[in-house]
């Protein structure tokens, strides 16, 4: 059997990782400014993370959600404390799309409404509800076409107010920082107004913090820069530092109903061990503060580079837009300078490194980056 060829691949076989570095099968070392697409939060093969998972695997890796799992309570307890939502409830699933799918459904179960307001250039996943809320026609199969999904211009509060005034919308879903769109930050004032109008119209506010959350922005959640609270928050990527898992954080006003939501794998023992290890490391090593400090340093230095048209970002979620396509520069950076970066569209580099990136490693990146410009 061959692999279904849906991913354009770099001709590289990564076989090891340590901290902010990864290694190929030929022993080459690469500085990882991509974090495997914002997934590696506490660093590759962190010893505490490896020990916690190994220890758990030697006890039990999985049992079903039909029995008590104390590890799930520990995740909820620690996450609630660390993220600033201690009174919310936690529902764990497996991928970002699945978390958003459940959030959209939960909102609709709650208020009985059908419509969803999303934003232009949004990316929320590839399952049926989430791909309908994703502003990319290429990802939509005919079976996903759904007139209940409407896209608002980003940061346009007047458009949002007019739509929500109809009382037809179940939820608004918005990324803490738009990632796939090229690192676009919602204005703090816009988010404040959005919060207000959602409350006034009985519309559920869903914050997709899958890419921007878990400390990446320099706060636990990017929407916390605006000082607002969301009704539902979705997390994935960094939550397990590579172990596939995700979750929905749920305001206490939602009623839990047996059978409405479910999952076989979500919140399993091994996933919880990964999530606990990540939260412990983030706290013990002050990784959120580190993301803020190193991110500020990087953005300040990048803004001095004349070839870059614009630098956008918060913490260690940074976009660098060029006037011309970046494909060649990115490829040189990878194969000649041995640095992994992300990209979005044709003109924007995306930096999503592990949150433990040091100032020294950021300096190494800047030095190598300048060489390919
Ligand atoms: C903001 C956002 N939402 C949802 C998703 C979907 O997550 P997953 O690929 O784990 O389903 C992603 C993935 O890139 C994302 O960046």
DSSP secondary structure, 51-62, as one string:
HHHHHHHHH-S-
State whether the beta carbon of 125 lies less than 6 angstroms from ligand 1: yes
Q: Give me the pLDDT at residue 264, please.
A: 98
What residue ranges do the domains of the chain occupy? Answer: 14-46+287-371, 48-284
| Domain range 14-46+287-371, CATH architecture | Alpha-Beta Complex (3.90)
pLDDT tens figures, 287-306: 999 999 999 999 999 999 99
State whether the beta carbon of 344 lies less than 6 angstroms from ligand 1: no
pTM exceeding the 0.85 threshold for the entire prediction = yes
pLDDT tens figures, 213-248: 999 999 999 999 999 999 999 999 999 999 999 999
Rounded to whole angstroms, the Cα distance separating 245 from 239 reads: 7
pLDDT tens figures, 244-266: 999 999 999 999 999 999 999 99
Give the chain's mean pLDDT.
98
pLDDT tens figures, 16-55: 999 999 999 999 999 999 999 999 999 999 999 999 999 9
Q: Which atom of ligand 1 is nearest to the CA of 237?
A: 10
For residue 51, give every residue at least 6 positions away whose Cβ sits within 8 Å of its Cβ, in sequence order, or none: none
Mutation probe of ligand 1 site: the residue of 122, 211, 265, 319 with most atoms within 8 A of C-beta: 211
User: How remote is the CA of residue 123 from the centroid of ligand 1, in Å?
Assistant: 7
- How is domain 48-284 classified at the CATH fold level? 3.40.640
Contact 308, 348 (CB under 8 A): no
State whether the beta carbon of 208 lies less than 6 angstroms from ligand 1: yes
State whether the beta carbon of 39 lies less than 6 angstroms from ligand 1: no
Q: Give me the pLDDT at residue 351, please.
A: 98
Contact 281, 48 (CB under 8 A): yes
Q: Which residue has the tokens 């009704």?
A: 231
Q: Which residue has the tokens 């916390």?
A: 224
């Amino acid at each position: 059997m061959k692999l279904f060829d849906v991913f354009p691949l770099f001709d590289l076989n990564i076989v090891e990782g340590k901290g902010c570095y990864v290694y190929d099968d030929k022993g080459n070392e690469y500085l990882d400014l991509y974090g495997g697409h914002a997934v590696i939060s506490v660093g590759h093969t962190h010893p505490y993370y490896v020990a916690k998972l190994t220890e758990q695997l030697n006890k039990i890796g999985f049992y079903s959600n039909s029995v008590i799992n104390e590890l799930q309570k520990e995740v909820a307890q620690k996450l609630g404390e660390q993220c600033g939502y201690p009174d919310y409830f936690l529902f764990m699933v497996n991928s970002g799309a699945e978390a958003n799918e459940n959030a959209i459904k939960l909102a609709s179960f709650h208020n009985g409404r059908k419509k969803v307001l999303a934003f232009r250039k949004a990316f929320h996943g590839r399952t049926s509800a989430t791909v309908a809320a994703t502003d990319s026609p290429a990802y939509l199969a005919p079976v996903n076409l759904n007139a209940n999904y409407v896209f608002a211009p980003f940061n346009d509060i007047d458009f949002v107010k007019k739509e929500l005034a109809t009382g037809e919308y179940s939820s608004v879903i918005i990324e803490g920082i738009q990632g796939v769109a090229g690192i676009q930050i919602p204005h703090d004032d816009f988010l404040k107004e959005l919060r207000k109008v959602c409350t006034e119209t009985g519309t559920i506010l869903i914050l997709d913090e899958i890419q921007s959350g878990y400390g990446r922005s320099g706060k636990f959640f990017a929407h916390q820069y605006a000082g607002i609270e969301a009704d539902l928050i979705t997390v994935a990527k960094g939550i397990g530092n590579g172990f596939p898992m995700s979750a929905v954080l749920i305001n206490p006003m939602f009623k839990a109903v047996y059978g409405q939501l479910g999952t076989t794998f979500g919140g399993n023992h091994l996933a919880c061990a990964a999530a606990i290890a990540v939260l412990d490391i983030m706290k013990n090593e002050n990784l959120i503060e580190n993301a803020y400090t190193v991110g500020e340093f990087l953005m300040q230095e990048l803004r001095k580079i004349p070839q870059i048209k614009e630098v956008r970002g918060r913490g260690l979620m940074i976009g660098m837009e060029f006037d011309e396509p970046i494909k060649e520069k990115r490829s040189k950076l990878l194969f000649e300078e041995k640095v992994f970066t992300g990209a979005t569209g044709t003109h924007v580099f995306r930096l999503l490194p592990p949150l433990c990136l040091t100032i020294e490693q950021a300096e190494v990146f800047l030095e190598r980056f300048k060489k390919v410009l």
